[in-house]
Chain A
Amino acid sequence: MAFDSFAAFVAMGGDGFFVWMAYGISLAGMAGYFALLWRQRRRLKRHIKRLAIRDQQLAGHTE
């Protein structure tokens, strides 16, 4: 361990604000991006399914 106590770890030699902001923003950004990807994928699948159903109905009408 490079630190004597948890408090020293959090303080980061007095520059804790900068270190933890950097890590916080980056982790939040990456996690947020993956959450967006996940949601996009779920919506896309639902959308494609709905399109397929509509295509089927249209095909039924023209026959």
Chain B
Amino acid sequence: MQWLTRLYHRLGSPRYFYDYAGRWLPWLVVLALSLLLLGWGNGLLFAPADKYQHEVYRIIYLHVPVSIAALLGYVAMGVCGLVALVWRMKMAEILLKSIAPFGTLLAALSLVTGSLWGRPTWNTYWIWDARLTSMLVLLFLFIGVQALQAAIRDPRQAARAAGMLAVIGVINVFIVKYSVDWWFSLHQGSSIKLLGESTMPWSMLTPLLLSIAGVYVLFAVAVLIRARSEILWRERRSRWVKDLLEEAADGV
């Protein structure tokens, strides 16, 4: 347990976080790319065609990972917001800011891939039903957190305001999650279940799980790169950043 508390304190320090993240990043990039290559490659080339949706269903290997990662990323952002509000932890503020842009991209991609899937299967790109609308709200929340962050000059105050919005918005994640059960929806129910039998055979499920893991790791990579830049900017007047930048005189 002691190593865990020590790790917590160290990662709470921007300087240590910068070093740790820098050491992990190359491995995470390799891991993300291999998972995505395996997941998408298998999903597009080797997984069997669906009985009802034939080949279009292959969008699932993109749509589901991107959507789950957007939702989970929002929850992570909410947790950072809470920690930033309650404990005023600097790293939580930095992570909150770093999650938002990639989360925005994923939420937008979830809507785009979803409507490209909807057109051939439901015969429409968009309808205002519970699942789709709450997902659109998720996109707006991601954008809102960034806008609020950008509108306030003082970074600590900006983090507090954005953190508040991030925390409140977590409610919407539950609405998205349960919207297909609570309301009648054109959107199909979940194919993967944590408890109980999934409704997919393994030949379809394996590539899906691989691509979900791949998008998660890619999310982590995006957040870590963004967070490292943010750390440099916030600590620009400190000795260690100046030394670091002087060492790498070529600017790499």
Contacts and interface: CB of A to CB of B under 8 A. Distances in A.
| Pairing of A with B | yes
B120 A18 contact: yes
Interface in A24-63: 25-26, 29-30, 33-34, 37-38, 40-42, 44-46, 48-49, 51-52, 55
A48 B236 contact: yes
User: What is the size category of the interface that chain B forms with chain A?
Assistant: 35 or more
Given A2-B49, A37-B225, A19 B105 contact: no
Nearest to B112: A25
Interface in B43-87: 44-49, 54-56, 58-59, 62-63, 66
A17 to B, nearest CB: 9
Mostly, the A contact residues are: helix
Interface in B103-153: 105, 108-109, 112-113, 116-117, 119-120
A7 interface: no
A33 B221 CA distance: 12
Contact of A34 (B47, B109, B222): B222
A34 B25 CA distance: 13
17 contacts: A2-B47, A12-B58, A14-B55, A19-B116, A21-B116, A22-B117, A23-B40, A25-B109, A30-B105, A34-B222, A42-B251, A45-B245, A45-B251, A48-B232, A48-B233, A51-B236, A55-B237
Interface of B: 40, 44-49, 54-56, 58-59, 62-63, 66, 101-102, 105, 108-109, 112-113, 116-117, 119-120, 218, 222, 225-226, 228-229, 232-233, 236-237, 241-242, 245-246, 248, 251
